[in-house]
Every structure is written in structure tokens, then in C-alpha cells.
């Protein structure tokens, strides 16, 4: 290895170590930390974040990258990709002052604790002053960069490199009328019964059933674990330490099962990253949309499919004999795929889920533009829910406070959920071309070939390729809604006999 490249990897390794330590502290804040620790944790995150940022934007690193850019120009080599991706990250990070990074850590740490309290009490006023600071942070962050086609482009680019706000809006504009039409058609059909899903199920048994499923998927417990948190998430400390969290809702017990599949999908992506990329910017997922394609694929295209439940339903009935007495396989399959507008995004069915995402994108753009004031969000949220889904939240907890992301400063993020749905369907069509007996394998409880395909085509490359290029390489087309519309139409035509 040339000395300069070796020096680069040494410098990047130190930055990666610091960021992974930050991730450990953030995981602990969600899983273990008592509420009283928030102020001290905010200071710890601020100090470490500032140090990591200073190292990631040092003049020494910048000078080294300038020298290496002319030496490693082939983007298809690991070395060329490392220099390209690192240079892109460096140029962005160098625009952001270290003081801002520290300030952001303190504000978002306090915001998270305020969100937990506000959600528990269903009182937006507790969270409001913190969210106002988060929005100001986003606007200040945007000011560090040259003017874009739209201010929101700067935020979106952090999560979906190369994607513009106008690109996302065009994709959503093409998708929305087709989803609305499908939802209306389903609404006129006979509704399926799902009351047996909402009985009182044992939390421990549901939790363990989920662990059984994701173990069979291929989640490596020697490099992972599952803990409880207020909002399910996945985090990575290294390719050999990728953790997931989950929660149990008494009034919606099976949400725990599908959350386990979802977060395991994220984690298996991280576990499949090329070990040679460890402690470099090439490690992990190429974008949040591609990441979301993995979680939604395992949760929905696998976990809500009929072949999957042909295998797992007998075990589920054995686990909950009294709760599922008299319930047949097809009844259960239809119930978990019931289409009905719901208040909570993470529990939404596949036909209505993207409408939740479109709503949030509209609100985030409005906040960034200054069109929507934070104080008015509950009212705006409720009005948009009625417009998009025909329902109105009864309180803040089931409305504007339901998601954790804004409290963590994650603005620019939400559209990736819907983009991930579309990518998952594009991948699914290609997977079925390559694995012609995939349904039969799933029906037999075998997932090795599916996980192997994803490892070979997606996971192993980490961030080597930009998301649109990755999707194009694997599926032959860039991100678009066509495959997703085909998938939804075929699935729900059968379920609702349309």
C-alpha cells in the first residue's frame, strides 16, 4: 500500500473510532441512560463530536486528499472510491464549524429527552421550544453551503447523495395518484377482519418469536443484539457489532414482530459490508434509501408474504394457541396486510405508508422555508393527516410527536423511507429473475440464497457506489415507482379480490 494511502487510512480510522464511540453513547442514551443523565450526556457528545469533526476536517487530511485525488482516479477500484467518497465527505464537513457540531449535540440531546417526556404526556408544548432550536440548526447548517436549487437539497444530500428535492417530488408526484387510486379501490371492497391481531399477547413470547424469525433470516447474534428503546432503530459500532432496538405496544403486539424484521434488515446490510472497509468512510450503507430498501424488503416483501407465513404460521399458532384458535392461514395473511388508514407511520400498511412520508416531507420543506411555524405544527399535522389519509389524530402522541427523528436533528431524512420502498420492489423483481424458486425457498424457511444475493449485489459494496448508480447497476434502472406500483397492485388485487 502506498505510504500516502496508508496514512489516509490511519487518519480515517481515528475519525471512525470517535464516531463509533459517539454511536455507543447515543445507543446507551436510548436504551440504558436514566433521564437525569441527559445534560452530562449532551456535553459528552458535544466534546467527542467536536473532536471527531476537527479530525475529519484537518488541514493534514485535506492536503493528503488533494494529493491522492490525482493518483487514484478509477472509481471502480476500492482505492479510487475511498478517495472520492472521503473527499466528498471532507469538502462538506469542512464547511461546518466545529462549534456548530458541539452546539448541535447539546441541543439535540436535550431535544430527545424533551420528546420522550412530551410523547409520554402527549403534550407538544414540552417539545416545541426544542424543535424550534432544531429547525434553526437546520437553517444555519444550510447557510454553510452554496445556494442550491432548493434549500432542502442541502439536507437531503446528507442522506441521499446526488438526489435533489425536485427529483423526490417528481417521483412522489408520479406515485401519489396511483396509490390514492388503489386505496380508493380497496376502500370500496369488503374489508378483511383482523380483530385477533389485537388481543393481549405475551410480550415475552412475541419478542422471542421475532428473534426466532430474524435468526432464520441470517441476523448474526455473535455480532449483534436486540434491546428495548422508545423508538426502534439500528446502530453500527463496527461490522462485527451491529445492534437493533425494539419496543412492545400492548394495543398492537405484532408491531414488535415486524419491527424486529425491519431493524434486522438494516443490521444484516451492515453485517454484510466488506470487512476491508472497516474504519473507513466506505463502511456501511450507501444511502438511507438503499438502507431502507433492505429493511422494508425483509419486513414486507418477505415478512408479509404468503409463502413466509405458510412456513411460520404453524409455529405462531403453536406459540399462541388460544389467541389464534380457529384462525386460518389465509385469514391471518389478509389481516396482517389489511389496508386501512392509520395514525402511526411505523404501523401503516404498505398501501398507505408512503402517504405518511409525503406528509412529513411537505412539513419539513415548509419548516426549512419558514412557511410553517413550529408552534402551528400540531394543527398543520392534523389537517394534512385528514387531507392525505382521511383521519385526524386524537392527541399529539399519535400525531406530531410520534417519530423520534426531529428530536435527533434528522431533517432531510423522511423521503428516504418511501424511496426505500420503491427500491425494494425494484430489487425484488430482479431477485425473482435470478432465484426462480424464491417463493418455494421462503415457504421452506430457507433464506440463505436471498441473503446471499443481497450480500453479493448490495451489502459487500458499502458506500463504494452512489445510490442511484447502485440501483442502476443492480436493476438496470434508476429509482422509480413502477415496480412498487406493480407489486402493490398484484398483492392487493389478490387479497381484496379486486
Does 474 fall in a domain? Answer: yes
3-state secondary structure at position 47: helix
* 180 and 224 inside one domain: yes
Does 154 fall in a domain? Answer: no
* 334 and 292 inside one domain: yes
Does 272 fall in a domain? Answer: yes
What average pLDDT does the segment 357-371 reach? 95
pLDDT at 346: 84
* 128 and 171 inside one domain: no
* 326 and 472 inside one domain: yes
β-sheet bridge partners, residue 245: 227
pLDDT at 75: 85
Angle between helices 415-434 and 467-475 (to 10 degrees): 20
Residues 472 and 423 sit within 8 Å (Cβ to Cβ): no
What average pLDDT does the segment 463-482 reach? 96
- Alpha carbons 105 and 41: distance in angstroms, whole number: 9
pLDDT at 347: 85
Tally the domains of the chain: 2
Does 155 fall in a domain? Answer: no
Query: Beta strand 226-228 with 241-246: parallel, antiparallel or unpaired?
Result: parallel
- Asked which of 147, 173, 196 is the last residue of a domain, the reply is 147
pLDDT at 442: 98
Give the C-alpha distances (Å, rounded to integers) separating 156 from 71, 213, 267, 351, 381.
30, 33, 23, 24, 21
pLDDT at 498: 86
275 Cβ contact partners less than 8 Å away, ≥ 6 residues apart: 239
* 349 and 429 inside one domain: yes
- Average pLDDT along the chain: 95
What average pLDDT does the segment 435-442 reach? 98
* 319 and 354 inside one domain: yes
Residue at grid coordinates 380497496: 186
480 Cβ contact partners less than 8 Å away, ≥ 6 residues apart: 171, 174, 422, 426
* 138 and 195 inside one domain: no
* 133 and 21 inside one domain: yes
Does 160 fall in a domain? Answer: no
* 228 and 95 inside one domain: no
Residues 351 and 418 sit within 8 Å (Cβ to Cβ): no
Residues 94 and 57 sit within 8 Å (Cβ to Cβ): yes
* 88 and 219 inside one domain: no
- Alpha carbons 310 and 314: distance in angstroms, whole number: 8
Does 241 fall in a domain? Answer: yes
- Eight-state DSSP code of residue 272: T
Residue 263 is a catalytic residue: yes
The lowest-confidence range among 20-24, 69-73, 81-85 is: 69-73
Parent domain of 40: 3-147
- Asked which of 147, 182, 217 is the last residue of a domain, the reply is 147
Give the C-alpha distances (Å, rounded to integers) separating 441 from 220, 302, 354.
20, 11, 29
* 111 and 184 inside one domain: no
pLDDT at 337: 97
Read off the pLDDT band of 453 (50, 70, 90): very high
pLDDT tens column, 310-334: 999 999 999 999 999 999 999 999 9
pLDDT tens column, 202-219: 999 999 999 999 999 999
- Alpha carbons 375 and 121: distance in angstroms, whole number: 17
Task: Name which of 266, 276, 239, 286 is nearest 84 in CA terms.
Answer: 286
pLDDT at 67: 94
- Alpha carbons 428 and 445: distance in angstroms, whole number: 18
Does 260 fall in a domain? Answer: yes
Secondary structure (DSSP) of 197-256: GGS---HHHHHHHHHHHHHHHT--GGG--EEE-SS--EEEEETTEEEEEE---TTSTHHH
pLDDT tens column, 114-170: 999 999 999 999 999 999 999 999 999 999 999 999 999 999 999 999 899 999 999
- Asked which of 87, 119, 147 is the last residue of a domain, the reply is 147
Give the domain CATH number at 333.
Answer: 1.10.1370.30
pLDDT tens column, 411-433: 998 999 999 999 999 999 999 99
* 115 and 174 inside one domain: no
Read off the pLDDT band of 1 (50, 70, 90): low
Does 152 fall in a domain? Answer: no
pLDDT at 231: 86
**Which residue is catalytic, options 263, 270, 292, 362?**
263
pLDDT tens column, 370-408: 999 999 999 999 999 999 899 999 999 999 999 999 999
Amino acid at each position: 500500500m502506498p505510504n500516502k494511502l496508508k496514512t489516509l487510512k490511519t487518519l480515517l480510522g481515528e475519525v471512525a473510532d470517535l464516531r463509533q464511540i459517539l454511536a455507543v453513547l447515543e445507543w446507551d442514551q436510548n436504551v440504558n441512560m436514566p433521564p437525569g443523565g441527559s445534560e452530562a450526556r449532551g456535553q459528552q457528545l458535544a466534546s467527542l463530536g467536536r473532536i471527531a469533526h476537527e479530525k475529519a476536517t484537518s488541514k493534514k487530511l485535506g492536503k493528503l486528499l488533494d494529493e491522492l485525488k490525482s493518483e487514484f482516479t478509477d472509481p471502480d477500484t476500492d482505492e479510487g472510491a475511498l478517495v472520492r467518497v472521503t473527499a466528498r465527505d471532507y469538502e462538506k464537513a469542512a464547511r461546518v464549524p466545529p462549534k456548530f457540531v458541539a452546539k448541535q449535540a447539546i441541543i439535540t440531546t436535550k431535544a430527545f429527552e424533551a420528546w420522550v417526556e412530551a410523547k409520554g404526556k402527549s403534550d407538544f408544548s414540552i417539545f416545541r421550544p426544542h424543535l424550534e432550536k432544531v429547525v434553526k440548526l437546520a437553517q444555519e447548517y444550510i447557510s454553510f453551503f452554496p445556494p442550491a436549487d432548493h434549500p432542502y437539497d442541502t439536507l437531503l444530500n446528507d442522506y441521499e447523495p446526488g438526489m435533489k428535492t425536485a427529483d423526490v417530488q417528481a417521483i412522489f408526484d408520479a406515485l401519489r395518484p396511483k396509490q390514492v387510486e388503489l386505496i380508493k379501490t380497496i376502500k370500496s371492497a369488503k374489508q378483511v377482519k383482523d380483530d385477533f391481531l389485537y388481543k393481549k399477547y405475551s410480550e415475552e413470547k412475541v419478542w422471542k418469536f421475532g428473534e426466532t424469525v430474524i435468526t432464520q433470516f441470517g441476523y448474526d447474534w455473535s455480532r449483534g443484539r436486540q434491546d428495548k428503546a422508545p423508538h426502534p432503530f439500528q446502530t453500527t459500532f463496527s461490522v462485527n457489532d451491529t445492534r437493533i432496538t425494539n419496543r412492545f405496544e400492548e394495543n398492537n403486539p405484532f408491531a414488535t414482530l415486524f419491527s424486529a424484521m425491519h431493524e434486522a434488515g438494516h443490521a444484516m446490510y451492515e453485517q454484510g459490508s466488506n470487512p476491508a472497509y472497516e474504519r473507513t468512510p466506505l463502511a456501511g450503507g450507501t444511502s438511507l434509501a438503499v438502507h431502507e430498501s433492505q429493511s422494508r424488503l425483509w419486513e414486507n416483501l418477505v415478512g408479509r408474504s404468503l409463502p413466509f407465513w405458510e412456513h411460520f404460521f404453524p409455529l405462531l399458532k403453536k406459540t399462541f394457541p388460544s389467541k389464534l384458535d380457529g384462525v386460518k392461514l389465509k385469514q391471518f395473511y389478509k389481516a396482517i396486510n389489511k389496508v386501512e388508514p392509520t395514525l402511526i407511520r411505523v404501523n401503516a400498511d404498505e398501501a398507505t405508508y408512503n402517504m405518511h412520508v409525503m406528509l412529513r416531507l411537505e412539513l419539513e420543506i415548509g419548516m426549512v422555508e419558514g412557511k410553517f411555524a413550529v408552534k402551528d405544527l400540531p394543527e398543520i399535522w392534523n389537517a394534512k393527516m385528514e387531507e392525505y389519509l382521511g383521519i385526524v389524530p386524537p392527541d399529539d402522541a399519535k400525531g406530531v410527536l410520534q417519530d423520534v427523528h426531529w428530536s435527533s436533528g434528522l431533517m432531510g431524512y423522511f423521503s428516504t423511507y418511501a424511496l426505500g420502498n420503491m427500491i425494494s420492489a425494484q430489487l425484488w423483481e430482479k431477485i425473482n429473475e435470478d432465484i426462480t424458486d424464491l417463493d418455494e425457498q421462503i415457504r421452506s424457511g430457507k433464506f440463505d440464497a436471498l441473503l446471499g444475493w443481497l450480500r453479493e449485489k448490495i451489502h459487500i459494496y458499502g458506500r463504494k457506489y452512489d445510490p442511484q448508480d447502485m440501483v442502476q447497476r443492480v436493476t438496470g434502472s434508476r429509482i422509480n415507482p413502477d415496480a412498487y406500483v406493480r407489486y402493490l397492485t398484484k398483492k392487493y388485487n389478490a387479497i381484496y379480490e379486486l
